[in-house]
Structure 1
Amino acid sequence: MTKLLNHTIFILMLFFVQATIAQQDSITSNQLNDRGQKTGVWKIYYDNDSIKETGHYLEGQKNGLWKAFYRSGNLKHEITFEDGVARGPARFYYKDGTLWEEGYWNETHWVGEYNLYHANGQKFYEWQYNNLGRRTGEQKYYHENGQLQYAGEWQNGSIRGEVEVFNEAGEMVEKRHYADGSFQTSKVITTRPVSDQENTNKKILPFYGTGHYILQSLDGFKVKEGYFRDGVLQDGKHYFYNEKDSVIKIRVVENGKYQN
């Protein structure tokens, strides 16, 4: 009987402490100043009483770091405010709490360094933005295993010059050239044939491009150039080399057929 009584008293005391903490929390948060403006710490809750958002108000405006949460309790995002405007470091998270993206948000756009992550935590994008929110400078993309996927230069929001393409093993497989933000040509990395047998030309990656391309070997030698349709050379040239890296034959292709 005594043990039951003590257990009941303990439960009542615990309930009293929790109620007191909740009451004190309500007193110290979600307050208005003498002009009816939100002030100090504010907490917003879901209908299940789990916290949804919390941060600080100053004269009715959000200021400083505000945090939002999923219903599970995991952090959803962290956004910095200045006089009610989102301006400052910002981070967004996947539902499991893994970081999704981060950077400096200035009212309507990202500024400076920006990173976006795969769900496994590996970096996906590594971009740079100018003050107008346009991508400028070196931009990088990554595979899920952490290997570089694309690398190139942007200027005022448009691709400029050459973009290098890598496979998941970290090997360069293509170089794409852009002008005025538009794709122009591509050098696709392949093996270098040493005979005129087409089946010796094994590619590192399947090539299905349509348009004007240059296929280039890993050691920098031109393999094919011209107009391709679905990866097949239609009009152009096919180069063959000997073991001393000298061209031993050039076969001309017209309408998809070798002419010599």
Structure 2
Amino acid sequence: MRNKFLFFLFVSILAFGNAQEFNAFDAEGKRHGKWQKKYEGTNQIRYQGTFDHGREVGEFKFYKPNSGKSPTAIKIFSNKTDTVNVKYFTNKGKVISEGNMIGKERVGLWTYYHKGSSKIMMTEEYNLGKLHGEQKTYFENGQLTERTIYIEGKKEGKRVVYSDKGIMIKEFTYVDDQLHGVTKYYDAQGKVKIEGNYKKDRKDGLWSYYKNGKLLERKQFPVSKRGS
């Protein structure tokens, strides 16, 4: 009888200890220590990580309702700054994208990967949630396919598109997120095929059309209406 009592006492202490392992509060009612939340009515973990008197510290793992033991996002919180390092994953554990955030806003350099691969598909620069700086896109062979400059979330300056062999095939100019300025299209040999100007997203002035480097025709924009 005494042995049974000791056994049940041991089980109770163990269960109590496990219950206290997660989701504790400090004296001020702030989350403190290891925390783990599950989706309601299931054993699927929603997130798990550590709090230090209400503040997230170290590594937090986040899961979707059907992701099992594979996290779909990992965030690493700093003790010294508000910047959080973030990685997003596929269900198979491959990195989709990674970068830094402050609150819900992306900051600094973000990197995106080709599906199921460690090869870079795109890099972007952010300033408090807005694209600010260079956006570069790559083919799977590593060749740059597109380069665009953003200022406070708007295209500004040159946007250039390349073939998978590194030949420039398109060149655009933007002002305040609108096509405005010189635009050029090139053939597979890198020779100009079409060139002209845009003014506030509309073709403007004289446009020239070439074949094998030779001028074929010119057109004036905007096209004047007959009888006007």
Q: So what's the TM-score if we normalise by structure 2?
A: 0.69
How many pairs were matched up? 196
Structure 2 counterpart of 1:69, one-letter code: Y
- Measure the CA separation in 1 of the matches of 2:126 and 2:93: 26
**Which residue of 84, 88, 91 corresponds with 1:92?**
88
For 1:36, the equivalent position in structure 2 comes to: 29
- Measure the CA separation in 2 of the matches of 1:26 and 1:102: 34
For 1:51, the equivalent position in structure 2 comes to: 45
Does the 8 Å contact 1:80/1:86 carry over to 2? no
SS at match of 2:19: helix
What whole-Å deviation, never above 9, does each CA across 1:200-229 have from its counterpart, x for those lacking one? xxxx4xxxxxxxxxxxx51x5x444469xx
Does the 8 Å contact 2:135/2:148 carry over to 1? yes
Instruction: Tell me whether 1:128 sits opposite 2:122 in the alignment.
Output: no
Higher Cα Rg, which structure? 1
Quick one: percent identity of the two aligned structures?
23
* Stretches of structure 1 lacking an aligned partner (at least 5 in a row): 1-18, 191-203, 205-216, 228-234, 256-260
Cα RMSD for the two superposed structures: 3.4
Shift of 1:24: 4.4
Shift of 1:112: 0.9
Shift of 1:134: 2.5
Q: Which moved more, 1:139-148 or 1:37-46?
A: 139-148
Shift of 1:133: 2.9
Cα distance change of structure 1 residues 133 and 236 upon mapping to structure 2, 3 Å threshold: closer
Instruction: Tell me whether 1:102 sits opposite 2:98 in the alignment.
Output: yes
Q: So what's the TM-score if we normalise by structure 1?
A: 0.62
SS at match of 2:131: coil
Which runs of structure 2 are paired with 1:1-260 in the superposition (5 Å)?
Answer: 24-46=17-39, 47-70=41-64, 71-81=67-77, 87-121=83-117, 122-130=119-127, 132-184=128-180, 185-190=182-187, 204=188, 218=190, 220=191, 222-225=192-195, 237-239=208-210, 250-252=215-217
Cα distance change of structure 1 residues 224 and 72 upon mapping to structure 2, 3 Å threshold: same
Structure 1 counterpart of 2:131, one-letter code: R
- Measure the CA separation in 2 of the matches of 1:240 and 1:168: 22
Shift of 1:69: 2.6
